[in-house]
Amino acid sequence: MPAGSHLTELELAADFKVSRTPVRAALKLLAERGHVEARPNRGYFLRRPVEDIEDDDSHAARDQQADELYLQIARDRTAGSLPEYVSEADMLRRYGVGRPALVHVLSQMAQLGVVERNPGHGWSFLPSIDSPEAHEEAYRFRMVLEPAAILEPKFALDQSWIKRMRDRHQQVLDRPWLDRSAIEFFEMNAEFHERIVAASGNRFFLLAVQQQNKLRRFHNYNWTYGKERVVGSVQEHLEILEKLADTDREWAAHLMRRHLEKAAGLKPRFNGPE
């Protein structure tokens, strides 16, 4: 069936020998997933050919497998069991996955600044926060920079972004915590801090925070503090967003520093003597 085909409840109900009620529900679900378009007073139309519509369960399963592989690589690297330089052959043997799946995950890591492809062959892990001293220094740096960014004279934050970010934080609170939830949580956290600093209008502030997020990504993916600290962090973020929505930047800056002080108190496990 080609793109643009008209889908009617009556014809589909006749084809599948069911009433129009389940057909109506199915069409609504397909519209929510972007497979069909609902046109007022005209019904539903295919957005793309049927053969190009991927099974959502299959897609979700692949996403889950990719997240699990990503997390395992992050754990092994932070534990010191993966060297700085690795070959694809070694990683294929180690993780027992196909090459396309491995390259997909490594490419994602490269886009996030965690690894880079070596000239010739193999991959290199890029520097990260890898000691208690580096952890403390990073947070001391952020405690100076991020509250100051909120107080910059050009600071301006879009209210619609604040609303979207509040909604995303609430979704994290509402969903059960799984190991792979750490990826979504960190990326939301990274966007929260980067977007607030970007609102300062100072490009150098933003570059510094983006670099900090690259350095801490692996250790935060390897989350060991459970849902309790996630809830605490989310609530602290929501308090900051509330003050920013009210344009109370002085108090928002105070809350940001307090939030970073609490986060600094979480001591990651580093490979080697501390």
Predicted pLDDT at 274:
36
Nearest 10 degrees: Cα torsion 89, 95, 101, 106: -70
Quick: pLDDT tens for 65-100: 888 888 888 888 877 888 889 999 999 999 998 988
Domain boundary among 125, 141, 160: 125
Question: What's the pLDDT band for 239 if we cut at 50, 70, 90?
Answer: very high
82 and 14 in a single domain? The answer is no
The tally of domains found in the chain comes to: 3
Contacts for 209-216 with beta carbons within 8 Å, 24 or more apart? 209/142, 209/145, 209/146, 212/138, 212/141, 212/142, 214/112, 214/113, 214/114, 214/126, 214/128, 215/127, 215/128, 215/129, 215/138, 216/128, 216/129, 216/138
Q: Assess whether 139 and 258 both reside in one domain.
A: yes
Q: Is residue 47 part of a domain?
A: yes
pLDDT in tens, 175-233: 888 877 888 898 899 999 999 999 999 999 999 999 888 888 877 877 778 888 999 99
Residue at which a domain ends, from 18, 33, 52: 52
pTM beyond 0.95: the answer is no
Query: Can you give the residue range of the structural domain that contains 46?
Result: 6-52
pLDDT score of 202: 96
Q: How far is the C-alpha of 255 from the C-alpha of 223, rounded, in Å?
A: 23
Give the pLDDT score at 253.
98
Q: Does residue 33 fall inside a structural domain?
A: yes
- pLDDT reported for residue 182: 85
Which residue, of 76, 109, 125, is where some domain finishes?
125
Average pLDDT value over all residues in the chain: 85
Confidence of residue 9 (pLDDT cuts 50, 70, 90): confident
Distance CA 228, CA 144 (A): 27
**Do 152 and 110 reside in the same domain of the chain?**
no
What is the reported pLDDT for 133? 86
Side-chain-side CA neighbours of residue 180 (13 Å):
12
Q: How confident is the model at residue 272 (pLDDT cuts 50, 70, 90)?
A: very low
| Shared-domain flag, residues 177 and 215 | yes
Quickly state the pLDDT bin for 162 (edges 50, 70, 90).
Answer: very high
Amino acid in the structure at residue 185: F
CB 263 within 8 A of CB 255: no
Per DSSP bridges, beta strands 85-86 and 36-39 are unpaired
- 30 within domain boundaries: yes
The answer to whether 200 and 150 are in contact (CB under 8 A) is yes
pLDDT band at 56 (very low <50, low <70, confident <90, very high): very low
Question: What pLDDT digit, counting tens, does each position of 104-131 carry?
Answer: 889 888 887 788 999 878 999 887 777 7
Whether 76 and 10 share a structural domain: no
> Is 42 within a domain?
yes
Q: Give the whole-angstrom CA distance, residue 270 versus residue 112.
A: 21
169 and 78 belong to one structural domain: no
Any domain includes 271? no
**184 neighbors 178 (Cβ within 8 angstroms):** no
Amino acid at 108: Q
Q: Tell me, yes or no, whether 204 lies in a domain.
A: yes
Residue 190: which CATH number? Answer: 1.20.120.530
Note whether 112 and 147 are same-domain residues: no
Instruction: Please report whether residue 269 resides in a domain.
Output: no
Contact (Cβ atoms closer than 8 angstroms) between residue 224 and residue 212: no
The CATH number linked to 12 is: 1.10.10.10
Measured distance CA(12)–CA(6) in Å, rounded: 11
State whether 165 and 98 are in the same domain.
Answer: no
Same domain assignment for residues 167 and 214: yes
Q: What is the pLDDT at residue 52?
A: 58
18-27, 117-126, 256-265: lowest mean pLDDT where?
18-27
Shared domain check, 259 and 150? yes
- Flag whether 176 is in a domain: yes
Annotate 200-238 with b (16+ C-beta within 10 A) or e (fewer).
bebeebbebbbebbbbbbbbbbbbeeebeebeebbebbe
- What local confidence, expressed as pLDDT, does residue 169 receive? 95
For residues 20-29, average pLDDT: 78
